[in-house]
Structure 1
Amino acid sequence: MADLQDEPHTNPVTPVGPGSLGAEDPTGALLPGALDRAAALLSVHPVVDGCNTLVWTLRESPYHDIETSDAGVDTDIPRLRAGGVGAQFWSLLMPREAGATDQVVSDTLEQIDVALALMRRYPDGLCLALTADDLADARNRGRIASLLGPVPGRTLTDSLGVLRAFHALGVRILAPAGAPWAMEGLTAFGHEVVKEMNRLAMLLDLRGCPPAPACQLAAASKAPVIISHTGAAALNPHPDNVTDEVLLALRAANGLAMVGFDSVLTGDSLHAVADHVDHVRAVAGPHCVGLGAGFGAEPGVPRPTGLTDPSGYPRLIAELLERGWPETDLALLTWGNAQRVVRDAEFTARAAQHRRAS
């Protein structure tokens, strides 16, 4: 059954407004042939975007209607479809986390509530995804699969009950950065968190973790880990960018580094973003690179030229085609690697549950 659900179905990429394919590329080059090939590829292998902060934006400004093109926010369903986005990780992190742990838990629960309300409000465009099969099923039905997470690792203190409660609410990703149990290496409780996440098929998101804890987390987890929004530190030594040491650890763990579209992390042009994607692929390997743009904001966030909203994805794929990427590697970049990481986490969970039962 899983093999049938994984078999890609064609979903046309519909050009919308300034993101229309065949228009002049904002970087100044006309790439109609590459854009046509990019659109064809995305219709079969859509993008799994590892990071979108729209939930926070809608919590602060709930008047946005994302069923139509909304100039007040950079993400809406028409532009997601125009960009060939087939699945979205909706980040539940908060730009301004409260100091007290109980407040972080309360804020996170409110984020989850907003995210679930988003799925209910737009059932024809979005659907909640809890498993890898759900990802494939949503794609085959023309919906945008929606995974909840990450949530902050700070919400977990000395009990795994909060983690299990998040899982029951549909959360599938947790970010340990800033958590006392993972700040300077894993504590005994931290090892228990990783073990329980493996049992629940939840993904560890290492975004924001320093290199040493990130490598330790990647080694401790029996399931692949991800970095949902990052760039290559070798090209830009920003503290949120991933070092080659961590990329090699991800490669060893069959993990996934998802490159973002953030001028601060990856530069101010489409070409600069493509350079970061190239570097991650070269170091971590074609099976460990993905895309996590970081859209979801109101106007004002600096974005690379040509990648100002989700409709720009075909332009990036066209650029990578022009650089000689084989379509097999692009299919991994957009859909295959993220699908595989989610499914591998489920295999790990089933193995852990089998060991516990025997």
Structure 2
Amino acid sequence: MADLQDEPHFVGIGAEHLPAPPLPAVPTAVPGALDRAAALLSVHPVADGCNTLVRTLRRSPHHDIGTPDAGVDTDIPRLRAGGVGAQFWSLLAPPDGRDVLGGPDGAADTDRIVSDTLEQIDVALTLVRGYPDSLLLGLTADDMADARNRGRIASFLGPVPGRTLTDSLGALRAFHALGVRLLAPAGAAWAQDGLTAFGHEVVREANRLAVLLDLTDCPPETACQVAGSSKAPVIISNTGAAALNPHPGNVTDEVLLALRAANGLAMVTFDPARTGDSLHAVADHVDHVRAVAGPHAVGLGAAFGSEPGRPRPAGLTDPAGYPKLIAELLERGWPETDLALLTWGNAQRVVRDAEFTSRAAQHRRPSP
């Protein structure tokens, strides 16, 4: 199997000018879309931008994800069946205004938010350590390639909430030391109505540390400003196209164009409130993001990891459904080069480019 550590990377080049990376040979398959999808995923697995299993496990630590478990929609057998090769484990509080332990989010002070985040990091690290034959902690793009080549799932920690950062960057440096590689500005005082002076400092420090900025749920103006200010690519780890569904969490075409200019990445969710209740509807959103942002700026961030009862699109009820989505895109005429970018190449590229930006920034601005 080819080693993706040697794949080319591009920094500061418009996405429309990027050459397609060379593809390893896809195993020969019978001429059916689902078989072709499975063959492609065996070489270019899914790098999923969002899974909320960590907060589910914090509430229900008895779950064993090594075996199929009807009590949660994510486990290792289903991740493997879906061809998932890298996973970003979200460390955010639930979006319903309540923290992980059930208290009102609005009543939590900064210390409580930080302590909750630290506890989620601990759960995530325990999860990765508990399944060494299946999961490998992801800190770099090389870790992604290493995990894939060893049959593991690269596990990246984050995002953590930007609200944990107030007047000091110390928390961000501490999170990085613990293995966190994504930060979400949404809801932070320094990124509500555009970036404050401190917000610009956060962006610079995140660039220096190779911590990706996840703009999910940021207002369009803030998202465009951060995308333009960051020297490293930014991502939106789970979203849909606002042009198809004006959900407040979906990304506008303006932001998609800003991501395209910044070599960023928008990862399409499987949340039916955002992208519809069918596999076909989700594919429509993937198509739209690719059309507007370009094939180098589209990825997948399903937001699995919840307990039973959360609605899911038909055919995409858990990670094992990924081959069906890839088969649908094949039937729509997607070339395998674009599918390889969608599933794996784009995610690895933004992680690697963040590392190159970090090395350049550390040369100019040594560690404090």
In 2, Cα distance between equivalents of 1:356 and 1:220: 17
Structure 2 residue 14 is matched with structure 1 residue 5: no
**Closer, same or farther in 2 for the Cα pair 1:310/1:243, shift >3 Å?**
same
Query: What SS is found at the alignment partner of 1:73?
Result: coil
Which of the numbers 119, 134, 143 marks the counterpart of 1:110? 119
Give the superposition deviation at 1:5: 2.9
AA in 1 matched with 2:88 = F
On the 8 A contact 1:152/1:177 being kept in 2, the answer is yes
Deviation per CA, 1:220-256, whole angstroms, max 9, x where unpaired? Answer: 1000000000000000000000000000000000000
On the 8 A contact 2:279/2:314 being kept in 1, the answer is yes
Give the superposition deviation at 1:63: 1.0
In 2, Cα distance between equivalents of 1:281 and 1:101: 38
User: In percent, how many aligned pairs have the same letter?
Assistant: 83
Structure 2 residue 316 is matched with structure 1 residue 316: no
Partner of 2:87: 88
On the 8 A contact 2:26/2:40 being kept in 1, the answer is no
Structure 2 residue 192 is matched with structure 1 residue 193: no
In 2, Cα distance between equivalents of 1:4 and 1:284: 24
CA RMSD across the alignment: 1.8
AA in 1 matched with 2:157 = L
Give the superposition deviation at 1:101: 1.2
On the 8 A contact 2:52/2:306 being kept in 1, the answer is yes
Structure 2 residue 284 is matched with structure 1 residue 261: no
Query: What SS is found at the alignment partner of 2:69?
Result: coil
Give the superposition deviation at 1:100: 1.1
AA in 1 matched with 2:137 = L
AA in 2 matched with 1:5 = Q
Give the superposition deviation at 1:203: 0.2
Query: What SS is found at the alignment partner of 2:121?
Result: helix
Partner of 1:346: 355
What are the ranges of 5 or more consecutive residues in structure 1 without an aligned counterpart? 13-21, 23-31
In 2, Cα distance between equivalents of 1:302 and 1:42: 26
Which of the numbers 186, 193, 214 marks the counterpart of 1:205? 214
Structure 2 residue 301 is matched with structure 1 residue 292: yes
Q: TM-score, normalised by structure 2?
A: 0.89
In 1, Cα distance between equivalents of 2:315 and 2:211: 33
Give the superposition deviation at 1:4: 6.1
On the 8 A contact 1:115/1:148 being kept in 2, the answer is yes
Give the superposition deviation at 1:3: 6.7
Deviation per CA, 1:105-124, whole angstroms, max 9, x where unpaired? Answer: 01000000000000111111
Partner of 1:147: 156
Structure 2 counterparts to residues 220-235 of structure 1, below 5 A? 220-235=229-244
Deviation per CA, 1:129-154, whole angstroms, max 9, x where unpaired? Answer: 10000010000000000000000000
Partner of 1:44: 43
Structure 2 residue 228 is matched with structure 1 residue 219: yes
In 1, Cα distance between equivalents of 2:170 and 2:248: 32
Query: What SS is found at the alignment partner of 1:199?
Result: helix
On the 8 A contact 2:26/2:39 being kept in 1, the answer is no
Aligned residues: 339
Structure 2 residue 192 is matched with structure 1 residue 183: yes
Query: What SS is found at the alignment partner of 1:181?
Result: helix
In 2, Cα distance between equivalents of 1:336 and 1:81: 18
Partner of 2:66: 67
Query: What SS is found at the alignment partner of 1:87?
Result: strand
Partner of 1:27: none
In 2, Cα distance between equivalents of 1:349 and 1:207: 22
AA in 2 matched with 1:39 = A
In 2, Cα distance between equivalents of 1:296 and 1:337: 22
Give the superposition deviation at 1:340: 0.2
**Closer, same or farther in 2 for the Cα pair 1:282/1:125, shift >3 Å?**
same
On the 8 A contact 1:11/1:142 being kept in 2, the answer is no
On the 8 A contact 2:241/2:250 being kept in 1, the answer is yes
Structure 2 residue 283 is matched with structure 1 residue 274: yes
**Closer, same or farther in 2 for the Cα pair 1:132/1:221, shift >3 Å?**
same
On the 8 A contact 1:219/1:249 being kept in 2, the answer is yes
Partner of 2:253: 244
What are the ranges of 5 or more consecutive residues in structure 2 without an aligned counterpart? 8-22, 100-104
In 1, Cα distance between equivalents of 2:180 and 2:246: 31
Deviation per CA, 1:73-114, whole angstroms, max 9, x where unpaired? Answer: 000000000000000000000112333111110100000000
